[in-house]
Amino acid sequence: MKKTILTGLRPTGNLHLGHYFGACQNYLKMQNDYDFYLEIADVQALTDNFNNPEKVRKNVTEITIDLLSTGLDPNKVNFFIQSKIPEIAELTVFYSNLVTVARLQRNPTVKTEIAQKKELFGNDGESITYGFLGYPVSQAADITAFQGELVPVGEDQLPLIEQCREIVRKFNSIYGETLKEPSAILSETKRVKGLDGNDKMGKSLGNAIFLNDSEEVIKKKIMGAITDPKKIKKDDPANPDICMVYYYHNLVNNKENIEKVCSECKKGSRGCVQCKKELIEAMNNFLAPIKEKRAYYEAHPEEVKEILENGTKKAKQKAEEQMKKIKKAMKIDYE
C-alpha cells in the first residue's frame, strides 16, 4: 500500500521560484511513489481574502495551471478544490473543541501572518477574525480528512503541522486510536532568497521571479538584482557569496558554469553586466519547458477543468470513508 501525501496551496497568486524550489521540486520527486492529494485551498485563502472573492476564484485555475506546468502528472496527483469537500469544514468544527484559543494565538506562523496583515487585522491583531485564528484547525482537517501521512511543505509551515499532530493526539486520546499523526517533509532548498537579497522570496515583498514571467520581465528583474556593492569597475574582484546573481546561477545553471562564474568573479575577470546576461539566458532556458506546458494548458481549459473534477471526485470518496470512521469514534454515527 502506498503512503498518502497531502499538501495544499492557497490560490492567491502565481507561483514563483520560491514555490518551485521550496515545494514543487519535492512534489515532482514524490509523485511517483505515493497516493498524492494536492489541495487548492480556496477556503483557507478566503480566511485572509474574504473581502476579495474574485481574486481567489481566478487563482484556483491559475495555480492549477502553474502546478501542472512544473511537470506534475494529473494521472499521479489528485488535484482537488477544498470547498468541494464539505467533510473538511465539518471536521474543522469537530476539531475546534480540541484546541485552545491561547494555543492558536501562540502559533508562530499565525502570529507572523497576523503581524503582516495589519490592514486586515489591525495594528496589534485586535481585529483578528475567528476564521483566520482558526485556520490551523482547518488545515488539520485538510490533512486528516485524507489520512495524510506525509505533508511536503515549506519551513514556515512547520508550526501548523505540529498543531495538527497535537490535534490528532488529543483526538485519539479521547475518542480512541483513529487518526494518523502526519510528518512534514521539507525540500532540500528550504527557502529561496529574493532579488533584493531578502531572506525570503515573496509576492508581497515584490522580489520574486514568477514561473510565468515574460522574457522581458525577467530581463528587467535580473538586471536590477543586488550584486556585491563593493564591485564598481568591471575588473574589480568581488565576493559572489553576497551577490544575488551568483545565488540564482546556483539555482538554474549547470555546475561547470556556476564554478566559472564563481572563480571569474573572485579574480575580477568578469563584469556584472555580462554575468547578468548569462543568468538571464540560463533562467529563460530553465523556465522554457515550464512555460511550454503552461501554454498547452492555457490552450486547453477544458482539460484543466476535467483534471480538477477527477481529482476532486477521488478526494471526495476518500474523505467520505474517513468521515465515517471519525463519526463512529465520536459516537455521532446515527443511522
Question: Among residues 84 and 231, whose Cβ is nearest to ligand SF4?
Answer: 231
Q: Are 157 and 112 in contact (CB under 8 A)?
A: no
243 near ligand SF4, judged by CB under 6 A = yes
Amino acid (one-letter) located at 122: G
Question: Among residues 151 and 261, whose Cβ is nearest to ligand TRP?
Answer: 151
Query: Distance between CA 172 and CA 169 in Å, rounded?
Result: 5
- Strand, helix or coil at 184? strand
Roughly what angle, to the nearest 10 degrees, separates helices 135-144 and 158-175?
Answer: 70
Smallest gap, in angstroms, from Cβ of residue 235 to ligand TRP?
44
Smallest gap, in angstroms, from Cβ of residue 1 to ligand SF4?
49
Single out the residue of 192, 252, 265, 326 in contact with ligand SF4 (rule: CB under 6 A): 265
Segment (H or E) for 79: strand 77-81
Contacts to ligand TRP from residues 133-152, by CB under 6 A? 139, 142-143, 151
Query: Distance between CA 243 and CA 240 in Å, rounded?
Result: 5
Roughly what angle, to the nearest 10 degrees, separates helices 301-329 and 272-299?
Answer: 80
Query: Distance between CA 114 and CA 160 in Å, rounded?
Result: 14
Smallest gap, in angstroms, from Cβ of residue 48 to ligand TRP?
10
Smallest gap, in angstroms, from Cβ of residue 94 to ligand TRP?
17
Question: Among residues 35 and 142, whose Cβ is nearest to ligand TRP?
Answer: 142
Query: Distance between CA 74 and CA 309 in Å, rounded?
Result: 11
Q: Are 67 and 295 in contact (CB under 8 A)?
A: no
Selection from 174, 151, 175 nearest residue 163 by Cα: 151
Contacts to ligand TRP from residues 184-203, by CB under 6 A? none
238 near ligand SF4, judged by CB under 6 A = yes
Query: Distance between CA 309 and CA 323 in Å, rounded?
Result: 21
Question: Among residues 143 and 192, whose Cβ is nearest to ligand TRP?
Answer: 143
Number of residues that bind ligand TRP (CB under 6 A): 14
Single out the residue of 43, 245, 280, 315 in contact with ligand SF4 (rule: CB under 6 A): 245
Question: Among residues 157 and 253, whose Cβ is nearest to ligand TRP?
Answer: 157
261 near ligand SF4, judged by CB under 6 A = yes
113 near ligand TRP, judged by CB under 6 A = no
Question: Among residues 46 and 283, whose Cβ is nearest to ligand TRP?
Answer: 46
Angle at 59 between CA 54 and CA 61, to 5 degrees: 115
Question: Among residues 62 and 228, whose Cβ is nearest to ligand SF4?
Answer: 228
Selection from 171, 201, 170, 168 nearest residue 183 by Cα: 168
Contacts to ligand TRP from residues 149-178, by CB under 6 A? 151, 153, 157
Choose one: 36-44, 116-124, 252-260, 284-292; the region binding ligand TRP (CB under 6 A): 36-44
Q: Which residues touch 7 (CB under 8 Å, ≥6 apart)? A: 23, 27, 37, 38, 39, 148, 151, 152, 153
Amino acid (one-letter) located at 258: I
Closest residue to ligand TRP in the complex (CB) = 8
Query: Distance between CA 208 and CA 194 in Å, rounded?
Result: 6
Question: Among residues 143 and 282, whose Cβ is nearest to ligand TRP?
Answer: 143
Judged by beta carbon distances under 5 to 8 A according to partner kind, the member of ligand TRP, ligand SF4, none in contact with residue 251 is none
Query: Distance between CA 182 and CA 162 in Å, rounded?
Result: 9
The residues binding ligand TRP (CB under 6 A) are 6-10, 39, 41, 44, 139, 142-143, 151, 153, 157
The residues binding ligand SF4 (CB under 6 A) are 227-228, 231, 238, 240, 243, 245-246, 261, 265, 270, 272, 275-276
